[in-house]
Amino acid sequence: MDVFLQQCLNAISLGGIYALLALGLAVVFSIVSLINFAHGELMTLAGYAIYAALLFAMPLPVALCAGVIAAALAAMAIERVAFRPMRRADATSLLITSFAVSVILRVLFQNGISARPKPVALPPELSGVVTFGPVHLSVIALASIAITILSLAALSLFLTRTTMGRAMRAAAEDFQVLRLMGIRANRVIAVAFGISGALAGVSAALWIAQRGSVDPLMGFVPVLKAFIAAVIGGLGSLPGAVAGGFALGIAEVLFQAFLPPEALPFRDAFVLSLVVAVLIWRPDGLIPAKTGRRS
């Protein structure tokens, strides 16, 4: 019972990280039809910002916020410097630009900081367990789930209650008409990148809390998974990204926990077969995006 519950918590907390990352990809994709491959580097950058803030003896909550803000600002800077000049370019050029940004950032991390992992010291309370009667659950998994839920709720309030949030949903459906209403395209795109970066920052905080170190390639694997999650969910669909993220995280943890030991090396093969099955069943993803006209 104990193990099963703990595995469920792990599954949900990993799924939450994938969901936040996939959501970051989807927010940008839904508006500018760009798959931002530099998303992983945003996550890594947030990791280093958290590491640096802790080095300067800042309290943990402050350091985590610093990571989120750093990633959001970096995402907006990347949009301004790399993607805005390419606004009229085709999808392939945008894709290659995002690869270039990703490689440049990775080299900067490797040569400017260190190719080796930097340990991030977390307060010991976080690695403890809480006990509910007979059940022991890890603090990190619970905190991670709570933060994921808070982030999703905040984003959903933003998208439904604010003018900018409504504008972002409208931009995903018909950007031209949104501009006709007088809403500035550049501002909507900048905010979309900022939110995407902030989501990468939150994921970085959760990821580091579970692994305790930062390295230049930290963002690569989780963002690759998040990309798969976004595709399962329906590329460009925000609810789809969340569903896909949780589905993938839960599938990974459950296979990890309950596959027989001799089949464990093939865990990813099992997970990806499941992905293929989902896409055969629903080629546009679990919750397909509404395709609109884009400028």
Partner 1 sequence: MIPMSSAPFLTVTDLSVRYGAVEAVHGLSLEVERGSVTVLLGANGAGKSSTLAALTGLAPAKGGLHFDGLSLTGMMPEEIVRHGIALCPEGRRVFPSLSVADNLHLGGAAHVKGEVLAARIEAELDRFPILRERFHQRAGLLSGGEQQMLAIARALMSAPRLLLLDEPSLGLAPKVVDQVFDLVLSLRDQGITILLVEQNAERALDIANRGYVLQSGRLVLSGSGAELAGSDLIRQAYLAG
Least distance to partner 1, CB of residue 270, Å: 35
Would you count residue 190 as binding partner 1 (CB under 8 A)? no
Contacts to partner 1 from residues 263-292, by CB under 8 A: 290, 292
Residues in the chain: 295
Tokens 């080299």 label which residue?
107
133/245 Cα distance (integer angstroms):
31
Least distance to partner 1, CB of residue 175, Å: 10
Alpha-carbon distances, residue 115 vs 55, 84, 152 (angstroms): 18, 31, 33
- From the list 5, 26, 9, the residue with the least C-alpha distance to 152 is 26
**Long-range contacts made by residues 277-286, C-beta under 8 angstroms, separation at least 24?**
278/232, 278/247, 279/231, 279/232, 284/234, 285/231, 285/232, 285/233, 285/234, 285/235, 285/237, 285/240, 285/244, 286/232, 286/233, 286/234, 286/240, 286/243, 286/244, 286/247
Q: Which of 1, 181 has the CB closer to partner 1? A: 181
Please count the other Cβ atoms lying within 10 Å of the Cβ belonging to residue 89. 14
CB 232 within 8 A of CB 278: yes
Would you count residue 182 as binding partner 1 (CB under 8 A)? yes
Would you count residue 173 as binding partner 1 (CB under 8 A)? yes
Would you count residue 169 as binding partner 1 (CB under 8 A)? yes
Q: Which of 73, 170 has the CB closer to partner 1? A: 170
Would you count residue 31 as binding partner 1 (CB under 8 A)? no
* Selected binder of partner 1 within 177, 190, 254, 279 (CB under 8 A): 177
Would you count residue 89 as binding partner 1 (CB under 8 A)? no
Would you count residue 180 as binding partner 1 (CB under 8 A)? yes
* Selected binder of partner 1 within 104, 137, 158, 174 (CB under 8 A): 174
Q: Which of 127, 162 has the CB closer to partner 1? A: 162
Least distance to partner 1, CB of residue 179, Å: 4
Q: Which one of 17-25, 92-100, 138-146, 165-173 is the stretch in contact with partner 1 (CB under 8 A)?
A: 165-173
209/106 Cα distance (integer angstroms):
22
Q: Which one of 14-22, 183-191, 257-265, 276-284 is the stretch in contact with partner 1 (CB under 8 A)?
A: 183-191
Q: Which one of 133-141, 167-175, 196-204, 247-255 is the stretch in contact with partner 1 (CB under 8 A)?
A: 167-175
Tokens of 191: 């905010």
CB 15 within 8 A of CB 144: no
Give the residues lining the site for partner 1 (CB under 8 A). 163, 166-167, 169-170, 173-174, 176-185, 290, 292-293
